A and B are shown apart, each in its own frame.
Chain A
Amino acid sequence: MQTFLQQTINGLSLGAIYALIALGYTMVYGVLRLINFAHGDVYMLGAFAGYFLANALQLDANPSILWAIVVTIGAMAICAVIGILIERLAYRPVRHHSRLTSLITAIGVSLLLEYGGQVVFGATPRFFPQMIRSRTFVLGGVQITNQSLLIILLAVAVMFGLHFIVHRTKIGKAMRATSYNLAVAKLMGINTDRVIAFTFALGSALAAAGGVMVALSIPRIDPLMGLMTGLKAFVAAVLGGIGNIPGAMLGGMLIGLMETALSATAYSTYRDAVAFGVLILILLFRPAGILGTSGTDKV
């Protein structure tokens, strides 16, 4: 029983990581109908931005929660700018072409960031400074670290925050209008270019926050770290229903729990196969995902 509870906690901590990234995927998809494959790589850039900031402040030797927050915000700002640049330079020029063109461009951007990252940062993994010292809480024989707890809380906060922004604010209304019909939204006086840029900035800032938090808990970062995590987060977004914000959370948690459950058995070898097996099954039997609605697409 204790083991079961512990594995559930492990699964939720892992799932929260996927959920954090899946939220960014889903938001961009919700507005643009674009699967931003570079999202996982922005998450990597966020981790690296945090790494350089934290080292510049020498936080490994002097851990401090206050400075850790500063580093996280700094990484978010850097990645927001990167997100806007990616949109401006790569996606906007092909926005009016077919959906496939954008998709292939996204894959191109993803590869550029991964292998460009290898040139700039080197392929050797780096270890993220311990800005916040790891502490373990024990509750009824179940262990959880403060870092894992932070990731879960952040994922939940981001989910509610995004939901609030999209459904309760003016810019959120503009996002939904853009999502519904870009041309008409423009005719109604919405600056769609700005709305889309904002969407990318927000998504990238969230990815950066995720990158820093995850790097705290799993201290090893390298330029390809966004590849597998990003793909699994994508599966999570599809599983929950891509475009649906609570769905991304649900999908992330389910993938995390599933992987943990499998790692706990003798079949740990097949862990990665399962995430993608789930993707195939969900696309075959319920392409809209668990919480998604298969409404008619207005194009």
Chain B
Amino acid sequence: MSVSLTTPVWKRGLLFVAGASILSLGVACERRPATGGDTADTGEIVIGMYGSLTGDGASFGQSSREATELAVDEVNTAGGILGGRKFKLLVEDDQSKPDEAASAVTKLITQDKAVAILGEVASRRSLAAAPIAQRYAVPMITPSSTNERVTEVGDYIFRVCFIDPFQGEVLAKFAVNDLKAKKAAVLKDIQQDYSVGLTDSITRSFAALGGQVLDPVSYSSGDGDFRAVLTQIRSQKPDVVFVTGYYPEAAIIARQARELGMNMPLLGGDGWVGDALQNGREALNNTYISNHYSGDNPDPVVQNFVTTYTARFKREPDAIAALAYDAVKVLADAMTRANSTDGPKVRDALAKTDVAGVTGRLKINAKRNMEKPAVIQEVTFKDGKVKFVYKTTINP
């Protein structure tokens, strides 16, 4: 194809875009050794965190950053690791967008020479960034991405939370055993790997327990009007409705469901944990979620974390914060055992992790996942505030 001035504007634009992408591909393929932060064996250890500090998932990003900073400061004030070397934490905002997550991690590794990566919360964004960490052989720990495919990206990708096949089973068990549900509807966010994966596992587990699951209905992140899908669900009279997406939509879905006279229990996963959930107001009563940890657990490890976090950030930590905190501690432990910040060595040490964390015993299995119990919490809305009240613990 020849480009002349008579070529239509859009064709020239297309060629320009194509040319630019080829150029940027060339740049991206140029590998650099990822050991930059390690060259001076006595200097600071650069670690990078990427997260959704703004955008739809802002609550996730803020909680993660606060808890990550807290944990990093604790490691540093305790004298650092590897003979007094301190962590230097760099934080990048991905604006809740997968492509931004990928470029944030590329920047952290190639420009800032981070030797380890922490993040993300949303599985979709972890899935976008994980291949980059894998390619540069930099260990990445996602604190709270529960979609099972995340750690399947490669042997440098780890997580400190449970996975969705388990979370779906927990939710289905609770619905069948405690709520005596026989017929369930599932609402999924087709744009989020997390929601799609969780929907599959809930459907499978609920059916295995003898329940009937209606055809899943879907929406997209950012939607605001769920009345059509909810009306469809209402006509089939389910005993419970699973809302497998994230908190911004869950709040509106709860509200519109109640407006339509649907007063059955609503259930969600850990994706419901976010400050904007409070916009669901009274509609949140009679809803339940599965979660990683409960702040009212009397275990001194948990209470100590809750006290220090609350003192510093003037609010109680949520489960996302607890996991981000644990991720830093797991990383520090692995580097100490590896006695190095070298990618492959840290990876091998991470694979043998077995420490006690705020969210329970952190033992990484052969698939680089964790087998941890989950808690069920009842969501309540009283005096303008959302509260997660501990109901029960379900073991794997």
Contacts and interface: CB of A to CB of B under 8 A. Distances in A.
Same assembly:
yes
Interface stretch (A117-125, A162-170, A186-194, A234-242): A117-125
A124 B279 contact: no
Interface string B251-285: 11001000111000000000000001001000000
B228 A7 contact: yes
Interface of B: 54-56, 58, 95-96, 190, 215, 217-220, 222, 224-225, 227-229, 231-232, 234-235, 248, 251-252, 255, 259-261, 276, 279
Contacts of A228: 222
Contacts of A218: 224-225, 252
B55 A264 contact: no
A2 to B, nearest CB: 8
B227 A13 contact: yes
A268 B231 contact: no
B95 A264 contact: no
B259 A123 contact: no
Interface in A260-291: 260, 263-264, 266, 268-269, 271-272
B38 to A, nearest CB: 35
Interface in A217-247: 218-220, 222, 224, 228
B220 A7 contact: no
A269 B190 contact: yes
Contacts of A105: none
A259 B58 CA distance: 29
A14 interface: yes
Interface of A: 2-3, 6-7, 10-11, 13-14, 17, 122-125, 127, 134, 136, 138, 143, 145, 218-220, 222, 224, 228, 259-260, 263-264, 266, 268-269, 271-272
A89 to B, nearest CB: 24
Nearest to A5: B231
Given A127-B276, A268-B217, A7 B231 contact: yes
Nearest to A219: B279
B279 A263 contact: no
B248 A263 contact: no
B217 A125 contact: no
Given A136-B261, A138-B261, A263-B217, A6 B225 contact: no
Given A138-B261, A143-B261, A269-B218, A263 B229 contact: yes
B190 A125 contact: no
Contact of B231 (A3, A125, A222): A3
B197 to A, nearest CB: 16
B232 A3 contact: yes
Contact of A220 (B95, B96, B224, B229): B224
Contact of B259 (A2, A134, A271, A272): A134
A3 B230 CA distance: 10
Contacts of A17: 225
B215 to A, nearest CB: 6
A10 B231 contact: yes
Contacts of A11: 228
Contacts of A266: 215, 217
A11 B251 CA distance: 21
Contacts of B255: 134, 219
A123 B96 contact: yes
Residue among B224, B259, B260 having the largest count of chain A Cβ atoms under 10 Å: B224
B96 A264 contact: no
B7 to A, nearest CB: 15
B340 to A, nearest CB: 38
Given A123-B55, A260-B228, 6 more contacts: A10-B228, A124-B54, A124-B58, A138-B261, A264-B229, A266-B215
A31 B225 CA distance: 32
A130 to B, nearest CB: 8
A98 B178 CA distance: 68
Nearest to B235: A3
Nearest to B62: A124
Contacts of A2: 235
B234 A3 contact: yes
A51 to B, nearest CB: 13
B122 to A, nearest CB: 14
A127 B58 CA distance: 13
16 contacts: A3-B231, A6-B231, A10-B227, A13-B227, A14-B228, A17-B225, A124-B54, A125-B248, A134-B259, A136-B259, A136-B261, A220-B224, A263-B217, A264-B231, A268-B219, A268-B229
A224 B95 CA distance: 13
